[in-house]
Every structure is written in C-alpha cells, then in structure tokens.
Amino acid sequence: MSNGDMTDLKRRMEGALDALSREFNGLRTGRASPSLLEDIQVDAYGSAVPIKQVAGVSAPEARMLSVQVWDQSVVKAVEKAIMESGLGLNPQTEGAVIRVPLPELNEERRAEMTKVAGKYAEQAKVAIRNVRRDGLEGLKKAEKDGDISKDDLHRQSDEVQKLTDAHVKKVDDALALKESDIMTV
C-alpha cells in the first residue's frame, strides 16, 4: 500500500470524525451555541436554505441565541423554521431580531440526548471500520496479485489497524466530552 493509499484511508477516517463533530454540534446541551441553529432549513426565496444563509446567529448569553435576519421578508419563515426544528425552542421576534431562549434540560431530556450522542458515535465508528475493511481488502488483493509480499501485507495491515484504533479512540474521546457537556447542569 502506497503512502497515498494510507493518506486516503486517513482522510476518509477524518471525514467520519468531521461528520460526527457536525452531528454533535446539532445536539442541544445546556449552553447556547450558534451551531445549534446554523443548519436549520428555512423556506426562503422559493427554496429551502440553511439559516446561516439568511441570518447571523450569535450567543449573547449562556442561555440565549440571537438570530439577526438580514431580509425583513424572511423573518416569519426563519421563526417558523426554528419552531418546527424539533429542538423544543420557542423563538421571540422583535423586528428583524429573533431571540431564542434555551430552556433548562431536564434529566430525562439529558439522558435522551446522551443516547443520541452515543448513536452518532457508533455511526462514526462503523464508518471508520468500513474504511479499515476497504484498506485491508486492498492489501489482500495486492498480496494476491503479487504486488506486495506476505510480510508487507502483515506490516501494512498493522498500520491500518493502528490508524483505525487511533480514530476510534478520537470518537470515544469526543463522545465522552459531549456526554459531559450534555450532563453538566
């Protein structure tokens, strides 16, 4: 396996971590984070667009998000999208600014969020293991075709496994951090 192939495997595993990070950003914790709203789809200008394309989202306080809508004609659509996002938020509109107070998460909701975070982490691990499988299959084929020796097969298989283990550990670390964030009152 060439360095380029190993780099490709690493890139694909990093992609799984990036996707996990985006999923985690969408999970509501007790603290306000602009990333919570940024990907909510708004019906504006005849199509669905992410909020971040029609408004600026900020967190002026620990439990408050502020959405500054740039075009007055889409304020109602943004407000509706936030209400229908499934995040349990109740926006309050004042002109072109929508304030979104974040309610306290009760213990049951926190436990539910932790389970969802665990599912996201498991999906990331599956994606990483699929990349490992692809890499190992490529190595076995190269050995069968006579492109690499049996020793190279074992050595490079070990490298692929180490890469996999390192990325799975990053997923576990990210999950532990997110769980702690969710459970912090």
Note the pLDDT tens digit of each residue in 18-47: 988 888 876 766 667 787 787 788 988 888
- The pLDDT tens digits of the residues spanning 60-104 come to 887 788 999 998 889 899 999 988 877 778 899 998 899 988 877
Q: Terminus-to-terminus CA distance in the chain, angstroms?
A: 48
Write down the pLDDT at residue 62: 78
Q: Per-residue pLDDT for 4 more than 80?
A: no
Q: Per-residue pLDDT for 59 more than 70?
A: yes
CATH 3.30.70.1150 is right for the domain spanning 3-25+106-183? no
Write down the pLDDT at residue 137: 93
**pTM of the prediction?**
0.67
Architecture of domain 34-101: 2-Layer Sandwich (3.30)
Residue ranges matching CATH 1.10.132.20 in the chain: 3-25+106-183
Write down the pLDDT at residue 29: 64
Q: Looking at residues 8-21, what average pLDDT do you find?
A: 92
Nearby residues of 167 by Cβ (< 8 Å), 6 or more positions away: 13, 14, 16, 17, 128
Residue ranges matching CATH 3.30.1360.40 in the chain: 34-101
Helix or strand (DSSP H, E) at 127: helix 107-144
